[in-house]
Amino acid sequence: MVWKYFTKVRYLVAVAAVASLFGSMLMFFIGVGKVISAYYYYFFGHAFFTEGDLPEYLTRGDLATVSLAQSIDVFLFALVLMIFAYGIWYLFLVDDADKERLSFPGWLKIKSIFQLKMILGEVIVFILFVHFFETATKTGYANLTIDSLILPAAIILLSVSLMVLRQGE
């Protein structure tokens, strides 16, 4: 009897999926703004949108590179939100009979929460890598300190832990 009501509650997942899709669209717009800023940095020497204080020793090409790296970060996060929305929709709201008829690529046929978490974890590791690249470019590779190695060490540890989790699957 209680199970009948519990299966209706699963439709609350639709709220999370739709909200994630709206967040994904917002992040895509922000990413496009970062790409436009990269062009403005390169051709006009300033950002299209107001940006934080950037070091003055960076050339126009460096500023464009940093802005493009930021756009990759934003686009990847938009993809994370989109994959999350799709994944929870597919897991909780699509009937098993309909899952067989849908023609999605194999990596999008999410079979469990664990698989969804692994996909998201891998994308997050790549986002952290892009963030380190952006930080290193802003700081200048010659000015990196030993403290700057904390993020790459964390990225390596996260990558190894994801690899170990994947083997245990």
Phi-psi region of 140 (alpha: psi -120 to 50; beta: other; left: phi over 0): left
pLDDT band at 110 (very low <50, low <70, confident <90, very high): confident
Q: Judging by beta carbons within 10 Å of its beta carbon (0-12, 13-18, 19+), is residue 24 exposed, middle or buried?
A: buried
Q: Say if CB 74 and CB 34 are below 8 A apart.
A: yes
Cα separations in angstroms, 86 against 58, 75, 76, 81, 163: 40, 16, 15, 9, 24
Whether pTM exceeds 0.85: no
> What is the pLDDT of the chain when averaged over all its residues?
82
The string of pLDDT tens digits covering residues 47-68 is 766 666 666 677 788 888 888 8
What's residue 23's pLDDT?
A: 96
